[in-house]
Structure 1
């Protein structure tokens, strides 16, 4: 299948992971694969296109270079703060990213090749099997930049590690290593960098050795609860995130990060 008109995602087949494997690579304009408007638009349709692709039975999702996806791009953050209507305008796509991920029937392995934060972490964790470099970092630091964790973190983190741990992670915005993420059950495996591709290939082979429709429909059944949670959660999450984008502390948090100084929060 031809994947046309994508500016922030690259596609390739059979990259050492076996036949009928499609590699989907997040490829931003900076070294951390930060999410800008164009990438957000790409992410809102890529998983639907993966489902339609007749040439693949398994998806490997990864990042270009040494980072998976470090979440929102700070230049885009500044634009959204200056023009709140632009933040409101992305709400349908924000919801579509999460729902299309959960509606994808084909099994998807996350090849977590570096940091995954915010939306990047959500996308990684909504894959079916997550294999990370042991020293990769993963977390949802929305609160550290003055935003509600509205892009799916409130859906997937509690489902994977329970509400208590999830609240601690999302309310602190802490990042943890791949090794720690595997220890607490957030991801499936953490391996040294040099063993990442071999582990992805191993899991892909095991999954693909089973009958196609048994695999796909087992995933569909298991995702029902997540889809229900997403339907209950996402509208409120996006609405609160949109409101948080208009607070004074949101602007201060972004400015402090870009100026590499402590935040001077007002509580407003």
Structure 2
């Protein structure tokens, strides 16, 4: 099969050796079963794509990627086997993104939450619109942050602040994220494309293999951490999906009310 064919949740646009990959879906580009399945092969095929040397990853509309789709959550709660069935792909998404040799810039055009935040932060350079927000609210919907958040957040901002944000599930603004070293830049919306183009140009001005293999070397430690963490992280996330508080947290979030948690 030719790479980058048969995608329903991603759009691909070329400008010379730059390939822009746009996440598409509902209004906030939430991750559903189809998107999760496509993410599990996307970065492998981006690596194999002969027409690109640099990837720009962005979202359609007002969000980058707002995490899991709530209808999909309902399916997983009703039938935990559906959660178990995606465990391998969950690990594969993180692993293949870290394996991608080509530089990848996150153009964070709006909110990035949960798995969306993980994907954004695993990119090489993160450039956000200044009003965008980022966070990992897995705990707010009753889940362990098992899809890579527990790996990348502490590496970027240290364990103390990372654990605070992971355990509270709070989202923070782009400028605050820059200040703590979580992302690279926060710029006004009308300057976002120019900043992405500036950084892309600086990277592409250097020899291809020096850039790719420098990234590869820099990612070795992250890959080792991801491998050592992922089995337990995904397993704990699967367990948390089967708790009573998981179902209540999802219902409460959807109904915009405080959850009635029992500890079960």
1: CA distance, partners of 2:20 / 2:61: 14
Question: How far off is 1:260 after superposition?
Answer: 2.0
In structure 1, stretches of 5+ residues that fail to align are none
2: CA distance, partners of 1:169 / 1:103: 27
5 Å-filtered alignment, 1:54-69, equals: 54-69=50-65
Q: How many residues align?
A: 263
1: CA distance, partners of 2:240 / 2:183: 29
2:243 to 244, 247, 260: 247
1: CA distance, partners of 2:255 / 2:118: 27
TM-score by length of 2: 0.99
Aligned residue number for residue 103 of structure 2 = 107
- 2:148 equivalent to 1:149: no
- SS of residue paired to 1:68: strand
Conserved 8 A contact 2:3-2:46: no
Aligned residue number for residue 10 of structure 1 = 11
1:46 to 42, 66, 71: 42
- 2:201 equivalent to 1:200: no
TM-score by length of 1: 0.97
Conserved 8 A contact 2:3-2:48: no
Question: How far off is 1:2 after superposition?
Answer: 5.2
- SS of residue paired to 2:11: strand
Q: CA RMSD in A?
A: 0.7
Distance 1:2 1:93, change over 3 A: closer
Aligned residue number for residue 18 of structure 2 = 21
Q: Which runs of 4+ in 1 moved over 6 A?
A: none
Query: CA-to-partner distance for each residue in 1:1-49, whole Å, 9 max, x for gaps?
Result: 65211111111101xxxx2000011101x10000000000011110000
Conserved 8 A contact 2:127-2:186: yes
1: CA distance, partners of 2:245 / 2:93: 27
- SS of residue paired to 1:223: helix
- 2:184 equivalent to 1:160: no
- SS of residue paired to 2:63: coil
Aligned residue number for residue 135 of structure 1 = 131
Aligned residue number for residue 217 of structure 2 = 221
Aligned residue number for residue 231 of structure 1 = 227
Query: CA-to-partner distance for each residue in 1:70-99, whole Å, 9 max, x for gaps?
Result: 000000000000000000000000000000
1: CA distance, partners of 2:186 / 2:9: 26
2:32 to 31, 36, 56: 36
Query: CA-to-partner distance for each residue in 1:95-120, whole Å, 9 max, x for gaps?
Result: 00000000000000000000000000
1: CA distance, partners of 2:93 / 2:139: 20
Aligned residue number for residue 210 of structure 1 = 206
- SS of residue paired to 2:90: helix
1: CA distance, partners of 2:139 / 2:253: 13
